[in-house]
Amino acid sequence: MNNKPFSFITTTDTLLGKVYLASDGKDLTGLWFEHQKYFPSSVLHTEKAPDLEVFKKTNQWLELYFAGCNPNFTPSIQPHGTDFRKKVWDILLQIPYGEVITYGDIARKLNVNSAQAVGGAVGHNPISLIIPCHRVVGSNGSLTGFAGGLEKKTWLLRNEGYLLE
């Protein structure tokens, strides 16, 4: 519809708190937990439009996900970022439900020397959960770096059956 990443917004409540959904009118362009690191405050000044089809699909996805199911579809997404970040996010989309990958693994897939650069791209993922940045762990398997907070990352990985307790 247009090239602005945040033309419309809505919110929804999840088991982990309120999330903000942003759209350009056609695709989902953002999904953030309330108070998440790197949350673009400009989203709060965006027109509310809770009845967009992409928001309905995203809410269906969220309901399934938080019920402990692996949604069998992905809402139409259009993350905005640099070419490097988009390459990282494409790799994140390939991580299977309930599995993890390390920052170093992603760096090797992209043939770059910096897991830190990968970490920056992962941390600035504008579509949390659907682009599963929570499935990225440190080189020793440690749970590090999730913009929504490590307690949420732990919950999400437990929900997917990766972490058992």
Residues 135, 157 contacting (CB under 8 angstroms): yes
pLDDT in tens, 21-63: 999 999 999 999 988 877 777 777 777 887 899 999 999 999 9
Q: What is the pTM of this model?
A: 0.90
Mean pLDDT taken over the chain: 89
What's the fold here for domain 8-66? Double Stranded RNA Binding Domain (3.30.160)
pLDDT of residue 149: 79
Q: DSSP secondary-structure letter at 77?
A: B
The residue type of 5 is P
CA 4 – CA 80 distance, rounded (Å): 9
pLDDT in tens, 66-95: 999 999 899 999 999 999 999 999 999 999
CA distances for 1 relative to 37, 81, 94, 105, angstroms: 28, 18, 27, 36
Residues 28, 54 contacting (CB under 8 angstroms): yes
Residue among 133, 137, 147, 157 flagged as catalytic: 133
pLDDT of residue 49: 83
pLDDT in tens, 112-127: 988 889 999 999 999 9
Q: Where are the domains of the chain?
A: 8-66, 83-159
Percent of the chain with pLDDT over 70: 95
pLDDT of residue 116: 86
Q: Residues 33-63, buried b or exposed e (16+ Cβ, 10 A)?
A: beebeebeeebeebeeeeebebbebbbebbe
The residue ranking higher by pLDDT, 54 or 140, is 54
On the question of pLDDT at 104 being above 50, the answer is yes
pLDDT of residue 19: 94
Joined together, the tokens standing for residue 147 give 């913009």
Percent of the chain with pLDDT over 90: 65
pLDDT of residue 1: 44
What's the fold here for domain 83-159? Arc Repressor Mutant, subunit A (1.10.10)
Helix (H) or strand (E) holding 21: strand 17-23
Determine whether 133 is an active site residue.
yes
Residues 154, 97 contacting (CB under 8 angstroms): no
